[in-house]
Structure 1
Amino acid sequence: IGRTCRQGQEEMKRGLLACAVFLTGALNAAPALAASALKLYPVRGLFQPANDAGLIHAAFRDAVPAASGGAYFQDEFRKAFPEAVANVADKDRRFTLVSSVQIARASSYTVDKVDGTVDVLAPVSGSLYFTNAVSGEVLYTVAATYYARATVARGALDAARRQAMFQEAWQGLVAELLARARSQFKPHTVAATVKRDWNGLYLLDRGRDGGVAKGDLLSDAEGNTLEVVHAAPGYAVGTASLGKISKGASFARETNADLNELKRPRVMVLVDGVPDGMPAEIVGQLFTDQLGARAALSVVQVNPLFTQVLETAFSSTALSNEHRGKRELPDYFLRLNVPESRSFELPSSLKNRSVRSYRTVATAELVDRSGRVIFATRGADRSDDQVVAGMALDEASRREVSLKNALLDLAARIGSELKFEQSTLALESNAPLRLQDRDGMLAPGAQLTLLRNIGRVDGIAGEVRVPFQDTAVERVEDGAALLDAGLALTGAPVAPVVGDLALVDSVNGVKTATRRRFAACGPAEQLGALALPAFGDLAYNGFAGAYRAPFYSPAVFARVQELVGPDTRFKARLAPVAAAPDYCAQAVYRIDPGPATCGGEPRVCQDHATVRITWRIRQGEQVVARSGLETKVAGAGYLEGAPAAARKNAFDSDLLDAAGKLSGDIAAGLNNQKFNSP
């Protein structure tokens, strides 16, 4: 393992993706739990998804059986965290984190070399989770990939050698995950004191600025628990979840996040599409790591194999399945998709040299709990490698680098473009419930909470607004939104009165062009013979980002329910479908190739095409508006006689880039259309 990692460090100095670098010094750090009530229990198991879509090589399963792999992980975990407990006492269940390792990918491939040898690579990707045994909250997770490498004579790789490489990669991965965890897991306590009871709601003296956020579960020394249903900068409001809540009692939770992260709105990442050979879990974690401190969001992690982890823990500890916490889903979901990731190689004008290129595009849409897309953007990577006399970096590793670069670009764009703003809207009538909305911020289906200003409370600075009713927008009028009867948050219902408030989050201060609701009509329509399969994803992402109207993505609900089943300990309070749209948008594209042009010495050619993009706005079967643009595209040059497949891949990448930009420009122009005015 040490030899493999030294090779990796030398390659990384040259800017290449290589095996993990051990953080051995971190293993000697001060105990991570020295000032924490938390206890760590390593689960004796090696967890893998039931349906791995061929991502886990059969030789890995033979080389690292679940029983021995789980034993190895548990032993190594106890070396890294000697304070880990050997059992889980019932009294400690709320403060116990079950630690588990989960494998997402184990693959093997070869790269032929001109000297008759073969480079063999065996990457193994996995994640380490620290998950609360009662609530299912993931306090810490880290993902890594370890590459075991060997050079053998062509045809000399036998089953025993491949299994040995997988054993090496597995052990290297465990060491990397534990080293990072030892260095990064530094839990601390966030505490608040109950200052007052208001109609069955409890007012706490710390809010977002003190690390308390909506959805938090806080417990006192006796195990009584409250759930935070509202958090302002200087205070929070909770409701009893378990036991008795007393004035003056201190309630706390453990977290591994810093204060700046705790202040941000919470979001759950939903991975919708990934490149071939890459597991969704790893892509999601790579993106989350890139997002980091760049964006005004805090990611809520989900342990997808939590049920399997607990079942294994139940069999070897005093932990039981009788105690289950339930926590609230976040207010936002971020749909991540990688619709385009390809590579191709074209000859160059220099002898024995060619250029291997990588193209990756990643998109993201931020969706609220009503299914409305409130922000959308995309990132991309275009990388080129020189291939000399057939010698180059292995293609699989470089494709992974291109993916990381695209995710990095996407995260940077989210960080620079996404800004949250909060507005206060007042109730102007309570029969019916009518909310002021002069800027047209609300659309049918929008979910709101009504708040009552109760003045000052001892121990809390400033005036206090208390949430008392959840509600939703039924319909909109010019300058106002009408609300449904809603659901009381208080022990006894509190009747709304004129002057009660609702807080509305908006993005980037953009006012809507219309409050009519839009959604996608369906897949993009292709006219002509040339197809761009990734175009539809890019087109609808561009439409959602450019068109200032309520645009809905109802498919997000299915993805949320798929990710957060009942055993992940989330409340299932999402609406099953979004409100029916008033209009739908349909992307149509046509690409007409033109003749290639060649010239010069050596002869260099260029491909040409005309790209036409149209958006149709439909109301039922009727097209009520359409708008389109056309552009001429000239591809990058290539030597005459270059492989046809490589030429097509290269030109398709250029066409997709042009078509995606054109689609967004058309959508922005639709903001001036008057057909959809309220």
Structure 2
Amino acid sequence: MIANSGANYQALVASLLEEAKAGYNPSNIEIKIADTWKGFYILDKGSKFGIVKDDNITDASGNELTVVHAAENYAVAQSLLGKVDRDRKFFKYSTGSAAGQFNKPRVLTMHEGWRDPILRGISYVFDSQVPKESAFTLLPVNEHFTRLLHCVAQDTYAGKYETTNQRAMPNYLIKFSATKPRFYTISEEGKFSQHIYEQSVVGELLDRQGRVLFSAVGTDRIEDENVAGMVFAVKDRLEILLKNATVQLAKQFSNAIKFSRFELPVTGIDGKVIEIKDKSMDLRIGKDVVIYRNIGSIKGIATDVVVPLWQAAVVDVQNDTVKLNLIMKLTDEEISVSTDDLVIMDAVSAAGAANQSNTSIKYCTHERSQRGPLAIDDFEVVSRAYGYLSPYTLYNQDEDFTKKIRDAAKFGGFRDTLELNKTDTAGRCLLPVYRASRGEKGTDQTIINCDENGFCTDTIEIAVGYRLYINNERKGGSASKTKVTVKDCKRDVCAPVMQSELSKINRDLLKANIVQIIFKQGE
């Protein structure tokens, strides 16, 4: 077997290379200028051929166009260095396997930037487990690989980095957190011995304002029988435990998240203030959008062509009526907005999420979640798993994460920096809370009833929910309670067994109560 290891290795590498070759079919796409309009170049190919917004395409003389809008059958581009002859032919390398991925909304993830081996491991596994059929494409930031690219570029192009700093910054981010692994042994002398491992991983999909668009928890439990001392090493089992929980999390993201494209008509104009109808119900104050105009049909293109006119920012939201302020013209001359124009945007939808109120809240930091004498060891992490179900617009304004993702993005090969807008929630915040207690008065942490053989029964009353605050004053929320009983456990393992049961109940109560939270007057 050892003698054949070299041949087996070569066969494995050869098989891997063949598989990679089959999935990588680069082609040089020829792109022509179908027409021009107000400084824009209308291209005869679009996302169907792998051309997407922020692409740079070049001709044989080195002239470059930047794509500012891409539809299925055409694209709209600009030249940053003067006019380009419309008879020129432009080119872009593309692969059939990747073309569809580039046309999806992109989500930024970081690897080394976590500065934590657990979170770093989660990010690697998560990235590998999200299938290409998902509604989004992951754009990972790998500092080590980026440094290697810079070295290659420096050696090859005498210090020029054009090839390594061309990516557009994504509009979405993923934040991970993980519970500490729970490990304990259940045994009865002469009968059995079992090692138990449990861990949860939470992921949150955020936009660049920190808004929680989706969140989920992946959980795994491993039960190992100890047969005559023959068991897996704890370290190895903990690695598998974390991987399994992350795989489950990735499946939830892939299955639940959908992106929809909306066309929102302009309904009113008052100088630089534009009013639109938001059918997506997704726009929030501070979000940037682009206003487009339909310029009709162009020879060689199967559909009508729309071009970008203005960049604008949301300044007011009242139900489905949204007001925008014009920020910057995108054409070479200033063109007035009309009621024939529209906003085109992608919006995230997730299974189980209802339309959210425009009222904004963030997670509270002024108080602890624990209210009673007993602690639930994974509550701080798992309580963030259901934020997207809130009836209010929830923001995760984690300063530590913001700093890490901004620093990591510097190594992402992006041509612009990551700017995270901070939404003012006017003092409104959400605090996940729980109270766990044992005994009639809810204060005794030690009473566990055990028989003469050392087998115990433990009962804990638990209340779980959320509190809403305005300027640190409690103004509502929702909570519910129940009792949890564990029977026939040895005294030395009753605590972790109870924690395991509390975790299950905790997740159910959190999910049930997040949809019920409401601000109350006078509380």
Q: TM-score range by the shorter chain?
A: 0.7 to 0.9
Which one of 385, 388, 394 corresponds to residue 545 of structure 1?
388
Which one of 459, 462, 465 corresponds to residue 611 of structure 1?
462
Taking the aligned partners of 2:457 and 2:116, their CA distance within structure 1 comes to: 29
Going from structure 1 to structure 2, the CA distance change for 1:548 and 1:567 (only over 3 Å counts) comes to: closer
Q: 8 Å contact 1:270–1:333 — kept in the other structure? A: no
Offset of residue 239 of structure 1: 2.9
The reply on whether 1:346 has 2:189 as its aligned counterpart is no
Q: 8 Å contact 1:304–1:563 — kept in the other structure? A: yes
Q: 8 Å contact 1:194–1:205 — kept in the other structure? A: yes
- Tell me which amino acid in the other structure corresponds to 2:392: A
2:372 is matched with: 528
1:650 is matched with: 497
1:93 is matched with: none
Taking the aligned partners of 2:275 and 2:240, their CA distance within structure 1 comes to: 52
Name which of structure 1's ranges 216-225 and 404-413 shifts more when overlaid on structure 2.
216-225
- Tell me which amino acid in the other structure corresponds to 1:437: D
1:61 is matched with: none
Offset of residue 237 of structure 1: 2.4
1:100-120: CA deviation from partner (whole Å, max 9, x where unpaired): xxxxxxxxxxxxxxxxxxxxx
Taking the aligned partners of 2:412 and 2:104, their CA distance within structure 1 comes to: 26
- Tell me which amino acid in the other structure corresponds to 1:411: A
SS in 2 for 1:525: coil
1:18 is matched with: none
Offset of residue 286 of structure 1: 1.1
Q: After the TM superposition, which residues 17-416 of structure 1 pair with which residues of structure 2 at under 5 Å, given as runs?
A: 24-25=10-11, 27-28=13-14, 186=24, 188-189=26-27, 191=29, 192-240=31-79, 245-248=84-87, 249-255=89-95, 257-270=97-110, 277-278=117-118, 280=120, 282-293=121-132, 295-305=134-144, 308-309=147-148, 312-313=151-152, 317-321=156-160, 323=162, 325-348=165-188, 351=191, 353-416=192-255
2:475 is matched with: 624
Offset of residue 674 of structure 1: 6.8
- Tell me which amino acid in the other structure corresponds to 1:444: I
Going from structure 1 to structure 2, the CA distance change for 1:584 and 1:413 (only over 3 Å counts) comes to: same
What TM-score results when the alignment is normalised by the length of structure 1? 0.67
2:442 is matched with: none
Q: 8 Å contact 2:461–2:483 — kept in the other structure? A: yes
Taking the aligned partners of 2:407 and 2:262, their CA distance within structure 1 comes to: 33
Taking the aligned partners of 2:3 and 2:336, their CA distance within structure 1 comes to: 68
The reply on whether 1:419 has 2:258 as its aligned counterpart is yes
The sequence identity of aligned pairs, in percent, is 24
Q: 8 Å contact 1:587–1:615 — kept in the other structure? A: yes
2:268 is matched with: 429
Taking the aligned partners of 1:26 and 1:183, their CA distance within structure 2 comes to: 14
Offset of residue 504 of structure 1: 3.4
SS in 1 for 2:497: helix
Going from structure 1 to structure 2, the CA distance change for 1:334 and 1:256 (only over 3 Å counts) comes to: farther
Offset of residue 635 of structure 1: 4.0
SS in 2 for 1:416: helix
What TM-score results when the alignment is normalised by the length of structure 2? 0.85
1:494 is matched with: 335
Name which of structure 1's ranges 466-475 and 239-248 shifts more when overlaid on structure 2.
239-248
Q: 8 Å contact 2:113–2:408 — kept in the other structure? A: no
Q: 8 Å contact 1:271–1:335 — kept in the other structure? A: no
Going from structure 1 to structure 2, the CA distance change for 1:426 and 1:592 (only over 3 Å counts) comes to: same
Q: After the TM superposition, which residues 571-590 of structure 1 pair with which residues of structure 2 at under 5 Å, given as runs?
A: 571-572=416-417, 574-581=419-426, 583-590=428-435
SS in 2 for 1:409: helix
1:660 is matched with: 507
Structure with bigger RCO (C-alpha 8 Å, 6+ apart): 2
Going from structure 1 to structure 2, the CA distance change for 1:429 and 1:394 (only over 3 Å counts) comes to: same
- Tell me which amino acid in the other structure corresponds to 1:651: M
Q: 8 Å contact 2:169–2:414 — kept in the other structure? A: no
Name which of structure 1's ranges 444-453 and 182-191 shifts more when overlaid on structure 2.
182-191
CA RMSD in angstroms, aligned pairs only: 3.4
- Tell me which amino acid in the other structure corresponds to 1:453: N
1:99-153: CA deviation from partner (whole Å, max 9, x where unpaired): xxxxxxxxxxxxxxxxxxxxxxxxxxxxxxxxxxxxxxxxxxxxxxxxxxxxxxx
1:186-228: CA deviation from partner (whole Å, max 9, x where unpaired): 2523634332332223323333333222333333334333333
Offset of residue 343 of structure 1: 2.4
Q: 8 Å contact 1:444–1:476 — kept in the other structure? A: yes
1:460 is matched with: 301
- Tell me which amino acid in the other structure corresponds to 1:337: S
Going from structure 1 to structure 2, the CA distance change for 1:494 and 1:659 (only over 3 Å counts) comes to: same
Taking the aligned partners of 1:397 and 1:190, their CA distance within structure 2 comes to: 46
Taking the aligned partners of 1:332 and 1:565, their CA distance within structure 2 comes to: 16
Taking the aligned partners of 2:199 and 2:107, their CA distance within structure 1 comes to: 24
The reply on whether 1:592 has 2:437 as its aligned counterpart is yes
Name which of structure 1's ranges 452-461 and 191-200 shifts more when overlaid on structure 2.
191-200
- Tell me which amino acid in the other structure corresponds to 1:625: G
Taking the aligned partners of 2:499 and 2:25, their CA distance within structure 1 comes to: 48
Going from structure 1 to structure 2, the CA distance change for 1:427 and 1:301 (only over 3 Å counts) comes to: same
SS in 2 for 1:568: coil
Taking the aligned partners of 2:160 and 2:431, their CA distance within structure 1 comes to: 48
Taking the aligned partners of 1:526 and 1:572, their CA distance within structure 2 comes to: 38
1:471 is matched with: 312
Q: 8 Å contact 1:435–1:482 — kept in the other structure? A: yes
Taking the aligned partners of 2:18 and 2:186, their CA distance within structure 1 comes to: 40
Q: 8 Å contact 1:616–1:627 — kept in the other structure? A: yes
SS in 2 for 1:300: strand
Taking the aligned partners of 2:22 and 2:81, their CA distance within structure 1 comes to: 32
Offset of residue 675 of structure 1: 5.0
Taking the aligned partners of 2:509 and 2:148, their CA distance within structure 1 comes to: 47
Going from structure 1 to structure 2, the CA distance change for 1:573 and 1:270 (only over 3 Å counts) comes to: closer
SS in 2 for 1:655: helix
Q: 8 Å contact 2:427–2:472 — kept in the other structure? A: no
Q: 8 Å contact 2:198–2:219 — kept in the other structure? A: yes
Q: 8 Å contact 2:406–2:418 — kept in the other structure? A: no
SS in 2 for 1:659: helix
1:538-574: CA deviation from partner (whole Å, max 9, x where unpaired): 21331x2211332112336434312111773331252
2:287 is matched with: 446
Taking the aligned partners of 1:230 and 1:602, their CA distance within structure 2 comes to: 74
- Tell me which amino acid in the other structure corresponds to 1:409: Q
Q: 8 Å contact 1:267–1:299 — kept in the other structure? A: yes
Taking the aligned partners of 1:533 and 1:196, their CA distance within structure 2 comes to: 63
Taking the aligned partners of 2:39 and 2:471, their CA distance within structure 1 comes to: 47
In structure 1, runs of 5+ residues without a counterpart are 7-20, 30-177
2:443 is matched with: none
SS in 2 for 1:526: coil
Which one of 554, 577, 589 corresponds to residue 397 of structure 2?
554
